[in-house]
Amino acid sequence: MKRPVTSLDRHVTLDVELGTPDRYREVLALAPAGPMIARGAGLSYVAASFGEGAVSVGMTRFDRVLALDEGARRAEVEAGISLGRLQEVLAPRGLQVAVQPGYPDITVGGCIAGNVHGKNHYREGVFAGVVESLRLFHPVHGLITASANENAEVFELTIGGLGLTGLILAATLRLIPLPGTVVEVEHIPVASPQEACAHIGRLREECDMLYAWLDFSRRGARMGRGYVVAGRWIDESRIDVSGAVTARARPRALDPSAARLRPNVFGVAMGAINEVYYRIGTRRPLRRRTPMLDVLYPAVGKEFYFDFFGRRGFIEHQSLIPETMIGTHLEAFRALFLRHGQPVALATLKAGRGAARLLHYDGCGYSFTIDVAPTREGVALLADLDQATIRHGGRTSIMKDSRLPVDVVRAEYPEYDVFRDRLRAYDPRRLFRSAVSQRLEL
């Protein structure tokens, strides 16, 4: 039975066959009959977990902790486990996963396939650094254990491989100590993205998490103002966090395929909403003690944001620009913003550090993110921004932008062909496909 599935940005909707196996024999009996793709929480902005003619294999029933070695700081988990559920096991033991994207329902399998980053990209890198080994199932190759020492080629292709190498069943993750469950969060008001960059550059060495929120909802004197969010773990007695994140109903805004009324709130009130958000963010005191979960998962309780764009949804565009070019890039963005007159619902800046390989969204520099409505001006703005990103030696996140053309990816990712060729050598029939892999001709 097919049913409509929609990407989180509401940009892609397809009728797909969706299976939810709950036993190993159901997964391991999958035959190489036709295209398929794993689906975790379904929270990728882009259509990474479903595609035309592909069966989506829901992995969320495989959500168990298989082994935990507190001394060696290592946990083996099934790939369908959510970060929040894992956090409930690790936090009371004073451990954590170093790299976490901003929502607790996201699965470990999704983090691996997307090679995600968090608010500490400049310090802890991307998810690839957390994964020690993994277990993968491919209907032709069977069960594969992969790590840096065993099946290293498959290991490398699978991390950040968009789920195209098979179904990730389990992974062994490296853990780090959790210093406490409270974070001291400081908000530093800034007048421009350049000022935000300067603060981030200065605070990188001393802060555990760091990003800036910027207001590009309107032109004028206040355009580009915002505040930097700088977080530092506070070492103090641990509070009980059990049940804090996962024992809640999944907000409807995360299930965009469900039919319901969705007025385009941002169409009329984007400026006002950003104004309120700025005032809340810059009210005093600017330093606050904040519970860890509110800092790790800031989108919890704000899921309605995704609905504010109305039925047509939005596009999130995130590009990582080399440090030396970020000033030039932000100037170019400012000019494009003024020329196209397209309001931006959300703009953020983060710092990153790492090596740019394969299709990984990694490297040293600054991540600049914007959310825009998919209007004609919005799409034109993004197309121009693509050219600026290419000129400035940046790369755009494949996991964020549902519109990102294959030509741009080819230009931004020098190892695009390497990834594509290796994937084809590993699986000539290319069994695992999604709307993203189809758009990117992988």
User: Whole-number minimum distance, CB 306 to another protein, in Å?
Assistant: 24
Q: Which of 70/331 has CB closer to another protein?
A: 70
User: Whole-number minimum distance, CB 73 to another protein, in Å?
Assistant: 15
Helix (H), strand (E) at residue 424:
helix 416-426
d(CA 100, CA 104): 9
Strands (E), 208-328: 209-214, 226-234, 287-291, 315-321
User: Whole-number minimum distance, CB 87 to another protein, in Å?
Assistant: 12
User: Whole-number minimum distance, CB 84 to another protein, in Å?
Assistant: 13
Q: Which of 61/73 has CB closer to another protein?
A: 61
Q: Which of 61/262 has CB closer to another protein?
A: 61
User: Whole-number minimum distance, CB 376 to another protein, in Å?
Assistant: 40
d(CA 127, CA 109): 11
User: Whole-number minimum distance, CB 58 to another protein, in Å?
Assistant: 9
List contacts with another protein (CB under 8 A). Answer: 1, 17, 19-26, 61-62, 64-68, 78, 88-89
DSSP label at residue 23: S
Q: Which of 175/209 has CB closer to another protein?
A: 175
Q: Which of 80/394 has CB closer to another protein?
A: 80
The distance from CA 180 to its chain's CA centroid, rounded to whole angstroms, is: 24
User: Strands 226-234 and 182-190: what pairing?
Assistant: antiparallel
User: Whole-number minimum distance, CB 259 to another protein, in Å?
Assistant: 16
Q: Which of 67/268 has CB closer to another protein?
A: 67
State both tokens at 163.
Answer: 């789920």
Are the C-beta atoms of 171 and 137 separated by less than 8 Å? Answer: no
User: Whole-number minimum distance, CB 81 to another protein, in Å?
Assistant: 9
d(CA 211, CA 219): 22
State both tokens at 187.
Answer: 């908000």
CA distances from 282 to 278, 279, 286 (A): 6, 5, 7
**Taking Cα atoms as reference points, which of 204, 304, 202 lies closest to residue 253?**
304
Strands (E), 42-94: 55-58, 65-69, 74-78
Q: Which of 38/321 has CB closer to another protein?
A: 38
**Taking Cα atoms as reference points, which of 388, 395, 401 lies closest to residue 414?**
395
Q: Which of 75/359 has CB closer to another protein?
A: 75
Q: Which of 71/428 has CB closer to another protein?
A: 71
User: Whole-number minimum distance, CB 16 to another protein, in Å?
Assistant: 12
Q: Which of 88/156 has CB closer to another protein?
A: 88
User: Whole-number minimum distance, CB 70 to another protein, in Å?
Assistant: 10
Euclidean distance between the first and the last CA atom of the chain, given in angstroms as a whole number: 27
Inter-residue long-range contacts of 29-37, CB under 8 Å, 24+ positions, other chains counted: 30/57, 30/137, 30/139, 30/167, 31/139, 32/139, 32/140, 32/429, 32/431, 34/431, 35/430, 35/431, 35/432, 35/433, 36/431, 36/432, 36/433, 37/163, 37/164, 37/432, 37/433, 37/434
**Taking Cα atoms as reference points, which of 439, 433, 438, 436 lies closest to residue 32?**
433
